[in-house]
Amino acid sequence: MAYIQLEPLNEGFLSRISDLLLCRWTCRHCCQKCCESSCCQSSEDEVEILGPFPAQTPPWLMASRSSDKDGDSVHTASDVPLTPQTNSSDGRRLSSDTSKSTYSLTRRISSLESRRPSSPLIDIKPIEFGILSAKKEPIQPSVLRRTYTPDDYFRKFEPRLYSLDSSSDDVDSLTDEEILSKYQLGMLHFSTQYDLLHNHLTVRVIEARDLPPPISCDGSRQDMAHSNPYVKICLLPDQKNSKQTGVKRKTQKPVFEERYTFEIPFLEAQRRTLLLTVVDFDKFSRHCVIGKVSVPLCEVDLVKGGHWWKALIPSSQNEVELGELLLSLNYLPSAGRLNVDVIRAKQLLQTDVSQGSDPFVKIQLVHGLKLVKTKKTSFLRGTIDPFYNESFSFKVPQEELENASLVFTVFGHNMKSSNDFIGRIVIGQYSSGPSESNHWRRMLNTHRTAVEQWHSLRSRAECDRVSPASLEVT
C-alpha cells in the first residue's frame, strides 16, 4: 500500500481540521501545536508512524501511483488551488505553512513505506452508533447450519447392521417364490388376530410344506429319512417367553393346527415382530433349525386378522437353546447349611417326540474336586415348562463354603433307557459362566437371605471345558 502526495486544502476551519488529523497520524510532537499547524515543517528528521494504518487506503489519499515516484519534483502554481487574496499577512503565512507541511508529510510517508514494506496492517472495522432505546435486540453472528429432515436423519442408518443375520439384506427385495427357489427350505402357513376385548394376540400355526430332509452330523450328505419338525413362536425382542408346537414325526408336510395366545397390550403388540422358527427334532443330538419367518406386526391389520403362506429363510441360529432354570440360594452361617430351591424351568429342550419331555433336576455338591452329595427333584410328565418348588439342604461348614460347587443338571426321564441329557450349569467355586458366578457372589454377600436368579442351560461339553467340577459328576 502506498501513500501518495497530498494537495494542500483551502485555509480556514476545514484546513485546520485536516492538518489536525494528518499530524495525529504522522508526527510525535503534534499534541501541543496541531491547532497552530506549525509542527510539520520541512526538515530532514525522520517521521515516526504512530499507526496503526487502515487496511484500505483512505479516499483523501487516493491519487495516481506515478506521483509517488516523482517525489523530488517541484509543484507549480497550477498544482495548488487558488485561494482568495486577503490583506492579512497572517493568512498568507498560514497558507504557505500548510502547503509546506502537506508536501513534507507526503514525502516522508513515501520514504518510510519504501524502507519498511512489511509493516503490519490492522483491519479496523467501522464502529456503528445507534440510538439507545428501551427495547434492545441483541445481534448474534449468523452461523450457517444444515437443517436435517427426518428422512435425512434416518438415511444415515444401515439396517443391515441391526438385522438378525446378513441374509435379510437380500430377502427384503425378493418375493416368496424367489425366496423359495433360492433357499429351498419350504413354506409355512400361519395366521394372526388380536382380541381387543381380552387384550391378547392369537397366533395360529396351521401347516408347513416342502421342508428339506434332515442333514447328517458331518454335513457331507443328506439322509433320505424324513424330518421331525416342530415350530417355536415368540414376539421379538422377547425370545424368553416363547411357545412351541408338538413334534410331527417323519414328515416333510406337517399339519399342526395349534393356537397360542400372548397377553400383550395392543399398542405394544404393534411394536413387536412375530418370529416363527421351524426346528427339526433329533433325539440323539441338539435340534437343528430348518428356517424361520419374521413378520413385523405393524405391517398387518391385527384386529381384522389374516393368514399367510411365507417362504422360510435361513437363520443365523443353527441350534436351539436348551432352556432356562430358576434357582434360589440361601446360606445359614450359624447352622452351616446351604439351602437350594429349584423353583421352575421353561422352554426346555424336548426329548420325546410324542409327549414333550418328563424333566427332572439333579443337584450335586462338589467340594474342591470331590463329589460329596447328590439329590434330585421329581419328574413331571409331558411338559417343557415344569414347576417344581422343591427345597434341598446341604451341610457345608463356613470354612469350606468358598471351595464348594453346585452342579445342576436337567434330564428327561426315560423308562426304557438312560435318561436324556437336556442341559447343565455349575454355581460356586468352579462356575460355568459369569451369570453363575454373580449368583454365587450375591449369596455370599447376603447371608440368611434367599437370592434367586434365572440361568440359561449349557451343553455338557461347554461345562466340562470351563468347570472342573462338571468333570467330576455324571
Q: Which pLDDT belongs to residue 82?
A: 44
Query: Residue 431: which of 408, 397, 454 has the closest Cα?
Result: 408
Q: Is 38 exposed, middle or buried, given 0-12, 13-18 or 19+ CB atoms closer than 10 A?
A: middle
Query: Residue 297: which of 237, 240, 257, 244 has the closest Cα?
Result: 237
Q: Which pLDDT belongs to residue 80?
A: 44
CA–CA separation, 458 vs 466, rounded Å?
11
In the chain the first and final C-alpha atoms are separated, in Å, by: 97
The residue to which cell 416363527 is assigned: 276
Q: Which pLDDT belongs to residue 323?
A: 86
Query: Residue 235: which of 176, 302, 309 has the closest Cα?
Result: 302
CA–CA separation, 291 vs 294, rounded Å?
10
Look up residue 249 and give its three cell numbers: 414325526
Q: Which residues of the chain have pLDDT under 50?
A: 1-4, 6, 9, 24-25, 32-38, 40, 42-55, 64, 69, 71-88, 117, 119, 130, 132-133, 143-144, 148, 153-154, 160-167, 217-222
Helices H, strands E: what count in the chain?
A: 10, 16
Look up residue 385 and give its three cell numbers: 415348562
Secondary-structure percent of the chain, ordered helix, strand, coil, rounded to 5: 25, 30, 45
Q: List Cβ neighbours of 192 (8 Å cut-off, separation of 6 or more).
A: 201, 202, 203, 204, 274, 295, 297, 300, 302, 305, 306, 307
- Cβ(340)–Cβ(328) under 8 Å? yes
Q: Which pLDDT belongs to residue 272?
A: 93
Q: Which pLDDT belongs to residue 179?
A: 82
Q: Which pLDDT belongs to residue 308?
A: 92
Q: Which pLDDT belongs to residue 322?
A: 83
Radius of gyration of the chain (CA): 48
Phi, psi of 299 (to 5 degrees): -95, 0
Q: Which pLDDT belongs to residue 286?
A: 67
Q: Which pLDDT belongs to residue 474?
A: 77
DSSP 8-state code for residue 181: H
- Cβ(425)–Cβ(454) under 8 Å? no
CA–CA separation, 318 vs 258, rounded Å?
24
Sign of torsion over alpha carbons 372, 378, 381, 384? negative
Sign of torsion over alpha carbons 300, 302, 307, 313? positive
pLDDT tens string 69-109: 454 444 444 444 444 444 445 555 555 555 555 556 566 66
Query: Residue 308: which of 193, 228, 231 has the closest Cα?
Result: 193
- Strands of 337-459 (E only): list them: 337-346, 359-367, 370-376, 387-395, 404-412, 420-428, 451-456
Q: Which pLDDT belongs to residue 69?
A: 47
CA–CA separation, 124 vs 131, rounded Å?
22
